Structure 1
């Protein structure tokens, strides 16, 4: 029986998967924060009204709020793209781990089959010797 030769690679792939999962969690958290910020700017923009007394100030305020809303929307788009990319990277890392997992399972099954075969050969040999000994005693 031999050890699984890809154990080191398996550990490395698991570490890469863990890093990718952490990056995905971070990207999703940043996307959620960007979405909250964008929604907050949208709510601020929607709640402002044009004051008839100082129309120019009201227009400038709304323009500034719209600028913040536009920036937060662009930032949300960027964070969404990063989260999607992190998801793709995690999926790739997970696939690599699963491939090695399957190889490890196959190796373990082969090792178990070999061990059972050796045990059966030993039992068969023991039974044959016992039968021959019993037959010789007659």
Structure 2
């Protein structure tokens, strides 16, 4: 068995792709938060745009026009939030896919590492068995008893 994981370079590429996808997801989430903040601010402006209590027709028409304008802007901001939500959903799907591809290779690497460790432990046990056997033979020779066989 090879001591190095043969797919290590592919794992590095997939891990890098996962990191890029995570950054894009974070960017999409920030854009969505900004869009939601703009929508909320517009909603607050619309809610605070009161009609004049005592005014002439010109002021009344101006107040109505301002409220209509803010209503239209609120509709646009709501659409921006929906578009940003779609962007977050898409970025999340890309990230989840990249994470799954990287995780599959990580599992293979973990299996490879476990096999290498098991191979090392078997080799170490063989060495320990050999050392113990040699020590037993030397002790038997010194004691004048027949050699201990395995």
Verify same fold: TM over 0.5: yes
How far does residue 136 in structure 1 lie from its aligned partner after superposition? 4.0
Give the Cα–Cα distance (whole angstroms) in 1 for the partners of residues 42 and 74 of structure 2: 5
Runs of 4+ in 1 over 6 A off after TM superposition: none
The aligned counterpart of 1:22 is: 23
Give the Cα–Cα distance (whole angstroms) in 1 for the partners of residues 26 and 128 of structure 2: 55
The aligned counterpart of 2:127 is: 122
TM-score, length-scaled by structure 2:
0.84
User: Would you say how many aligned residue pairs link Structure 1 and Structure 2?
Assistant: 138
1:5 aligns with 2:6: yes
Give the Cα–Cα distance (whole angstroms) in 1 for the partners of residues 66 and 135 of structure 2: 100
How far does residue 130 in structure 1 lie from its aligned partner after superposition? 3.0
TM-score, length-scaled by structure 1:
0.90
Determine which of 73, 77, 80 is the counterpart of 1:72. 77
Give the Cα–Cα distance (whole angstroms) in 2 for the partners of residues 116 and 6 of structure 1: 23
Higher relative contact order (CA 8 A, sep 6+): 1
From the CA coordinates, give the structure whose radius of gyration is larger.
2
The aligned counterpart of 1:90 is: 95
Give the Cα–Cα distance (whole angstroms) in 2 for the partners of residues 8 and 83 of structure 1: 29
Give the Cα–Cα distance (whole angstroms) in 2 for the partners of residues 118 and 125 of structure 1: 11
Determine which of 61, 67, 70 is the counterpart of 1:56. 61
